[in-house]
Amino acid sequence: MTTQWDRATGALDIATLKALFASGSLTPESLIDAIYDRIAARGDDHVWIHLIDRETSKARARALMADPAAKELPLYGIPFGIKDNVDLEGVPSTAAVRAWSRMPEASSPLVQTLLDAGAIPIGKQNQDQLGMGVVGVRTDYGIPQCVFDARYISGGSTSGGGVSVGAGLVSFAVANDAAGSGRVPAALNNIVGYKPTPGLVPRAGRSMAGMVGTENFLTLTMEDSVLLSNLWFRHEPGDPFSKPEADGFRVSCAPAPASFRFAIPDAATLDTDGDAESARLFRENVARLEALGGTAVEIDMTPYLTAAKMLYEGPFIAQRYANFGDRFNGNEDALCPPTREILSWGRKYSARDVYKAQYVMAGYKQQIRQLFRDVDLLVTPTTPSTYTIEALLADNIALNAKMGTYTNFVNLLDLPAASIPAGFRKDGIPLGTMLIGPSLGDDLVCRVGAALHAALGIAPGLAGKPELAEAS
């Protein structure tokens, strides 16, 4: 492990920082100072809704350094960002809706766990409003951009988090993921987004995205995602969706099995929206999985793609209206037009409609259970392709739906998933490959995900930026 670290470009993965702290060649205070220099150098990149001031963060670092016991904490001195619909005491939460800003009286349990583990918060980060979107353009606070090309979207809804990790501004970002919010920005910024099985991460009774949401992290490596997630798996009776299996649940980056079977979309249901480069990158990652001992099995994805559309294009949107409707009804103009339109759809469904949709979804759950009796994993592109900010502003709702083609059904079917970098298109834009496991099959997702990322052989985030001399 290197003992030299560059203030402007040095890696921020947790293992590297721990080694540097242990060797004495880096301190939490000097790291935090360098982080703020990096943030200042990027200028107004629309990542931060509320950036904690430099001196406050340095004071947190000095307090850790002054406590001999703190050096044993698992996240001693590690900098992180927080999606703005997750609470940090003393810092406003807006969920990217300026008019709905509120001051939380306490940090969310997840954030408090990170603070107790020695991590240092840098600020609250931009997102699609209310977590409703996977593109990162539905916000009152400016549009974050892909770290590799400012013309392109960063992905959302954890848009600021994806940029901050990809650009080397924090080691990890707190996210939450209902439709792909913690996987899409990972894919579009060359980082890792592991989303646990719903119910493994407690939410202390807060609805957020209700039964189809789960908190997660955007990280540089699968090892970091595993470390962070293992700190937080537990059953919480106060959370109506918490699973008892969460007590003692753990994931790992142990070697992948010597052999495993994985399903992939057949030719008719592999959707890359005409992006030949996306198709190439997916094929290459399938080949890497086969080289790791996997056997690919083509399947008809139609049932799961139909389930994906039900998240926003059917009665399940009423869940979002149940969460936000009281405030929305009194102040619709506070939301961006696409957010406002989609949330309004929740008004038109009856209880009968919702129950009928639940029966249909239960059938899809039975189908996915049957699939996982034959294969160990389901592997898809994280997104069919990606789009420019200009294109999203011109056709927001339709392109957002396209981006969620493969991510939207995963939580509805109670599954874990991880977006792993797939490499770069010839124009230098990254995309991701998604590994999906059976309910509570998180460990295999993480193990194979770590192996796949290692096999890719490309550094995460901006450090992996390709040379474009041969670009067409």
Write out the catalytic residue numbers.
83, 157, 181
CB-based contacts of 37, cutoff 8 Å, min separation 6:
7, 8
Q: Is the dihedral of CA 203, 208, 210, 215 positive or negative?
A: negative
356 CB-contact burial (10 Å; exposed 0-12 / middle 13-18 / buried 19+)? middle
The token pair that represents 299 in the structure block: 């399947």
How many CB atoms sit inside 10 A of residue 259's CB? 10
The token pair that represents 356 in the structure block: 């009928």
The token pair that represents 437 in the structure block: 């496991």
Strands (E), 241-352: 260-265, 294-299
Tell me the three state secondary structure of residue 19: helix
CA nearest 1: which of 128, 13, 171?
13
Q: What is the DSSP letter of 292?
A: T
Q: What is the rounded distance in angstroms from the CA atom of residue 318 to the CA atom of residue 343?
A: 8
Tell me the three state secondary structure of residue 96: coil
Q: What is the rounded distance in angstroms from the CA atom of residue 100 to the CA atom of residue 323?
A: 14
Q: Mark 361-379 as b/e (b = at least 16 C-beta within 10 Å).
A: beebeeebeebbeebbbbb
Q: Is the dihedral of CA 329, 330, 335, 337 positive or negative?
A: positive
Q: What is the rounded distance in angstroms from the CA atom of residue 58 to the CA atom of residue 126?
A: 23
- Strands 214-219 and 192-195: what pairing? antiparallel
CA nearest 171: which of 128, 122, 127?
122
Q: What is the rounded distance in angstroms from the CA atom of residue 177 to the CA atom of residue 159?
A: 12
CA nearest 46: which of 177, 138, 175?
138
Main-chain phi, psi angles of 228, to 5 degrees: -65, -45
CA nearest 47: which of 126, 129, 108, 105?
126
Q: Mark 97-118 as b/e (b = at least 16 C-beta within 10 Å).
A: beebeeeeeebbbbbebbbebb
Tell me the three state secondary structure of residue 326: helix
Q: Is the dihedral of CA 132, 133, 134, 138 positive or negative?
A: negative
Q: What is the rounded distance in angstroms from the CA atom of residue 160 to the CA atom of residue 179?
A: 17
